[in-house]
Chain A
Amino acid sequence: MAEPTQSDIDAAANRHGLRWLLNWLLVGTRSVMPAAGATGISLVLVIAAMCFLASLALGAALSVAHVTTGWTSDLSGSVTIEVKQSNEMTPDEQVRAILYILSGTKGVKSARALTKEDMTALLEPWLGTGNVTDDLPLPHLIDLRIDANAPPDFIALSHAIAQAAPGAVIDTHRQWQAQLLHAARAAEWLAYAVLLVVTATMVAIITFATRAGLSANREVVEVLHLTGARDKFIAAEVQRHFLHLGFRGGLIGLILSVATFLLLGLQSGTASGETSLFMLPVSGLRPGDYPALLCVPVAAALVAVLTARITVMRTLHRLL
């Protein structure tokens, strides 16, 4: 077998090793700008971390928006009638009378008296399994689903129910709806505010890291300049380099955030199968939301490219 030549040795040295693989995977950009080195990998990791946080913030904002919409639509179509003890009629007689009235009322889509099992299922998460016993003075509830676009005349309905069932009270949830809506909107604004702060921080850090990366490669820019490269050639090489780095970092951050959301979505904690976090229902991201997260790596790449172009053009204009 022939001895390897110096050329073979040099070529082999350029190809092998974990370090070469990491460099090729993370920072190889086929540009005249140097790809290898701690600076390039550090930039990719910084961008990945910031994009991970930005993706989480964006996903959380979208998730809160879904929850807000879900809550308000649920409550706006829901009414509860509470039937208490009365000297004149038993609760069951009152329930039958109310259901008869509701069956003929316009705007009522459906009405259902909650059974003992329904009440137990509602209360057990709060009181504990086995603690909902017969001696608890539970009211009888009737769950109404109304047409939110053409609701019934609640004043007339209240009068009719009061005459048929003295112990009945209508709860339209308006008070709770208003408070819940206010809290949900506040949470939504907070989520978007966090997103804004994270985005601004991401832009600032990527800008700084790009300038640092360019500063470390000032010699390359000067040699290209003195060898007769036009400003737009140098800028194009620099832009391509940082576009690749920015997009790779953004993609890594996006993949990590999607994995995080998928893991959260796999958790289940309620009878309805919805995911929950600390006993609060969290609907998580919908399949249609995941494409929206793609804007994060795109934004990261754009910030890196614009910063690189502005910085290199300033550097070149300071040179003769």
Chain B
Amino acid sequence: MIRFENVGMRYGMGPEVLRDVSFHLAPGSFHFLTGPSGAGKTSLLKLMFMASRPSRGLITMFGRDIATLPRNDLPDLRRRVGVVFQEFRLLDHLTTYENVALPLKIQGRAESSYRADVRELLAWVGLGERMQARPPTLSGGEKQRAAIARAVVAQPDLLLADEPTGNVDPEMGKRLLRLFMELNRLGTSILIATHDHALVTEARAPELMLKGGRLTVRG
């Protein structure tokens, strides 16, 4: 489903932050992306959610070569990818409900068709009482759960999460892991970038390890 072949990436004229990265994510797979700070995890995720272009190499997303894809076809691919940003990137002027429902609104669905599902999801992540709150009034953990809910609400084919348990307590972290695993069971491919070794140990899933811009696969 997702294939990287000898992908390299640099910012401007600087050194390569990713070098000869090659891996394959099959449909329904579950992987962790680990590595020290500055290893290039976020840069790799940016390539996967198509916010950046590689300097070299081949990236195939859902069987389509990103380099030759017409610009008008990119939104359809992005809708198949749910992203949990490290910095959340919730929209401060929208309520929690509106933030989470945003992917569905963008797809053109009527609110009556998704209202119940969004409320159920918010209740499940523990934000049932904060639906009308705006992000500036949410705690770090609440924002993280809202960001995760937004990423999964449209049941994407691929979920990319950048440090999704960084701001929650261990109990909520396990609960979120169970959510990811349930999504995986239903067919969503999962890639979680994390420093949380307890999460990696609990899930017992393969690791993509980044170090110095180079990637190795373990498990």
Contacts and interface: CB of A to CB of B under 8 A. Distances in A.
A230 interface: yes
Interface in A69-91: none
Given A228-B107, A229-B75, A320-B51, A32 B91 contact: yes
Given A219-B89, A228-B75, A32 B102 contact: yes
Given A224-B106, A233-B106, A320 B50 contact: yes
Interface in A1-35: 5-7, 10-11, 13-14, 32, 34-35
Contacts, number: 73
A320 B53 contact: yes
Most B CB within 10 A of own CB, among A36, A319, A320? A320
A227 B93 contact: no
A35 B134 CA distance: 14
B121 interface: no
Nearest to B53: A320
A317 to B, nearest CB: 8
B129 A6 contact: yes
A156 interface: no
Contact of A7 (B49, B103, B132, B134): B132
Interface in A205-240: 219-220, 223-224, 226-231, 233
B51 A226 contact: yes
Interface of A: 5-7, 10-11, 13-14, 32, 34-37, 219-220, 223-224, 226-231, 233, 319-320
6 contacts: A6-B130, A7-B132, A35-B93, A219-B89, A228-B79, A228-B106
Given A7-B129, A37-B93, A228-B75, 9 more contacts: A6-B129, A14-B134, A34-B92, A34-B93, A223-B91, A228-B78, A230-B75, A231-B75, A320-B50
Interface of B: 49-53, 72, 74-76, 78-79, 81, 83, 89, 91-95, 102-103, 105-107, 128-134, 137, 150
